[in-house]
Homo-oligomer: A and B are copies of this chain.
Amino acid sequence: MSEAGAIPELKAIVGAVLFASRAPVTVDRLVQVFHQAAERIGGIAAGFAQVGREEVAAAIEQVRADLAAAGIGLRIAEVAHGYRLESDPACGPWVRVHLDRMRPQRLSPPALETLAIIAYRQPVTRAEIEAVRGVAVDQILRNLLDLQLIRVTGRSDLPGRPWLFGTTQRFLEHFGLNRIEDLPGVDELRRREAQVAAPDGCGAGLAEKPPAEVAALAAGSAAETREAMGHDAG
């Protein structure tokens, strides 16, 4: 590979930045990096002063294609409005053995439900969440805040000015979602007034009409992943 000092290709820079980055990186951010580097560093970096969104997007696609072709256990995923270099899930079991983390970290069902309510209804107050769940969610909210899956987004105008909660960037990363709109049935679940008009209207929930995504997940990778992890063997 190129020596230090040689002029790297656009594609190589994009790959290196994605690799070194803690969080998913957007196309805009990459464009900004090229411009800032040209400005601050000059020299070879000045050669990329004119790089635009299309070139960067094309470079990401190249890296994605190259990784797929190489089959070295890495891939580019679109997560949380950006791009992320991550390991192939098929290799997950071995990575887990290496990291000595046999049990995948997972949230409890009540935590997931609370998170679902926040994800669909955000910004939402604690009282609204409790109205839906029918039980106090103090402890769960605290845990979700600790895990940085939710955050306080502001305060409501309601009496007592209660805090409003919303999901975080890390929420998207944790679930491998690109945008909150990628959640199935967002429109339907978003607000209470919009639904539950009549008994027959209520029936059309997620259970009866699963979006293609849900069906695919349920049928395919989830079951296989579970098997691959030896979930039932342990």
Interface residues of A (CB under 8 A from B): 1-9, 11-17, 19-22, 25, 29, 33-34, 36-37, 40-45, 62-63, 66-75, 85, 87-95, 97-99, 102, 138, 141-142, 145-146, 148, 151-155, 160, 163, 220-221, 224-225, 227-233
**Could you tell me the distance between the alpha carbons of A63 and B91 in the complex, rounded to whole angstroms?**
15
Q: Do the beta carbons of B41 and A229 come within 8 Å of each other?
A: yes
Hey, which chain B residues are within 8 Å of A231, CB to CB? Answer: 4
Hey, which chain B residues are within 8 Å of A43, CB to CB? Answer: 227-228, 230, 233
Pick the 8 closest A-B CB pairs, nearest first.
A5-B224, A16-B73, A15-B72, A16-B91, A15-B73, A12-B73, A16-B87, A4-B89
**Could you tell me the distance between the alpha carbons of A7 and B227 in the complex, rounded to whole angstroms?**
12
Q: Do the beta carbons of B90 and A17 come within 8 Å of each other?
A: no
Q: Do the beta carbons of A228 and B152 come within 8 Å of each other?
A: no
**Chain copies in the assembly?**
2
Q: List 9 A-B contacts (CB under 8 A).
A: A5-B90, A5-B225, A5-B227, A11-B72, A16-B87, A33-B94, A43-B227, A43-B228, A145-B151
Chain B's closest residue to A139 (CB) is: B154
Hey, which chain B residues are within 8 Å of A102, CB to CB? Answer: 22, 40
Given A36-B97, A102-B40, residue A87 in contact with residue B224 (CB < 8 A): no
Contact of A74 among B16, B62, B160 (CB under 8 A): B16
Chain B's closest residue to A8 (CB) is: B90
